Amino acid sequence: MPNKHNAARHHHIPKMRFRVTNWSAYEAGLRRRGSLTLWVSDEAIAAWRAAPRTTPGGQARYSQTAIETALMVRLVFHQPLRQTEGLLESLLDLMGIELPVPDHTTISRRAAFLTPTLRTALPDGAVTLVIDSTGLKVYGAGEWHRDKHGVRGRRTWCKLHLAVDAATNTIAATTLTTSGEGDASQVGPLLDQTTGPIDTVMADDAYDGEPTYQTVAERDLAATVIIPPRSTAVPGSTAEPTQRDGHIQSLAGKGRLGWQRETGYGKRSMAETAMSRYKRILGDHLHARKLSGQQVEAAISGAVLNRMIDAGRPESVRVP
């Protein structure tokens, strides 16, 4: 057991328990997540064919909506592209709709050039965004293959960055980078994908530093930043204390638990919950082999999770 000699010094906080109060409606929403009509909707069928092209070049048969729908079906039902093609063909036949279905090659080729946008319905007014990142495996040999042959290959994975609305668990923005990109460098790209006022931005200490505070201030000057400073952090040299200086002083005076209660830092767990939901529902690896396709896949995965949440959102209360 790691760090067993320091176990007596750890904070022994009991795990919180919650009870769902709208179970019947939530259960119906969970069943609805498996409905094909949720993913191949009437809106998608209406916009299936590509609009006539007004510029020089070949005319596309399928709209961006059709390709996005095919990728959604693939991610939700964990199918290769060929099986996804067959599923869409059979579904349209059963519905009696005469529409062409993109073949697996077309889906793969078009996916690398999509520009999907998250269609999020955030609450009115200023929102609290929680930012975090996690690693996703990319295409390659698995651990069993490496262990069997005694060869340890290079670890290949990408980093998924999410901005989550703390009030609704909705994913407001996504980015996907290589493993070499720092977490703090993606705060700007995530905030650029959001609209409307921001009340608070929360993140862990990997995002600590004045550049993060400056990036948030450029997006919304009135926004509050709640990030725990690192243990080696010291107040800045400016005459007027900054938000980060206030966190450093509060941690020194009240301790970490006192600072967390004062700032409401517990809401940051919403980002970890979103990461867990992503990996449990969609898996911990990426299907696309190129970075451009992987970035599109990450954006569509966020849209998939948002649609699942909209289909049935639990209302829970804490059990004392």
The pLDDT tens digits for 151-180 are: 665 557 899 999 999 988 899 999 999 988
Taking the C-alpha atoms of residue 245 and residue 251, their distance in angstroms, rounded to an integer, is 10
Which residues span the domain enclosing 51?
A: 23-111
Tens digit of each residue's pLDDT (9 = 90 or more) over 133-142: 999 998 665 5
Is residue 86 one of the residues assigned to a domain?
A: yes
pTM to 2 decimal places? 0.86
So what's the pLDDT on residue 85? Answer: 96
Q: Are residues 136 and 102 in the same domain?
A: no
Do 104 and 221 lie in one domain? The reply is no
| Neighbouring-strand partners of residue 285 | 137
**CATH number of the domain within which 132 lies:** 3.30.420
In terms of domains, do 155 and 232 share one? yes
Based on the domain organization, do 146 and 281 belong to the same domain? yes
Q: What is the DSSP string of 279-304?
A: HHHH-SB---SSHHHHHHHHHHHHHH
- 91 and 233 together in one domain: no
CA geometry: angle at 57 spanning 67 and 73, to 5°? 5
Q: How many domains are contained in the chain?
A: 2
Which conformational region is residue 233 in: left (phi greater than 0), alpha (psi within -120 to 50 degrees), or beta?
beta
Same domain? For 141 and 208 the reply is yes
pLDDT at 1 over 60: no
pLDDT grade, residue 115 (50/70/90)?
A: confident
pLDDT tens-digit map of 31-56: 999 999 899 989 999 999 998 888 88
d(CA 206, CA 220) in angstroms, rounded, equals 21
Residue 187 to residue 175: CA distance in whole angstroms:
10
Q: Is residue 136 part of a domain?
A: yes
Same domain, residue pair 91 and 155: no
3-state secondary structure of 39: helix
Residue 174's nearest CA partner among 314, 304, 39 is 304
